[in-house]
Amino acid sequence: MLLHDYISNFATHTLFWAVRSFTIWMAFWAIRRRGEFDYELDLMGKIVRWAIVVLALFLVQIPGPKLATFRVIVGCVGMAFLVWPNFAYHLTNILKQIFGRKINDDPKELF
């Protein structure tokens, strides 16, 4: 029963955050669309963006009262990358500069 409770609790929290995230995303999408603020994300930018969003979704569900600040920070970062894709664009450019080479749209180049 413990595994069943964990899965049920995880699904409930995931649905809770998905609904709220969608609402916030829609508001920011309207602003971004109207102002044409978005940069075009390449494949690497899309991977970075969605990896951070999904990782944040899982990390905010770690239980424990001592991790409350961590969960809030991770949730804000995940939400920022969800609603404003330009964060992924800029982070990807920084990563490209750090690694000193251009990362193309070929995922095989990552490994």
Tell me the C-alpha distance between 25 and 28, whole Å.
Answer: 5
SS3 83: helix
**Of 77, 59, 58, which Cα lies nearest the Cα of 68?**
59
Residue 51 in this model has a pLDDT that exceeds 90: yes
Tell me the C-alpha distance between 49 and 82, whole Å.
Answer: 7
Q: Per-residue pLDDT averaged across 66-93, rounded?
A: 90
DSSP 39-60: PPP-HHHHHHHHHHHHHHHHHT
Residue 63 in this model has a pLDDT that exceeds 90: no
Q: Per-residue pLDDT averaged across 2-28, rounded?
A: 73
Q: How confident is the model at residue 22 (pLDDT cuts 50, 70, 90)?
A: confident
Residue 89 in this model has a pLDDT that exceeds 80: yes
Residues of the domain holding 61: 2-110
Total domains present in the chain: 1
CA trace torsion 51, 92, 108, 78 (10° rounding): 0
In this prediction, residue 102 carries a pLDDT of 57
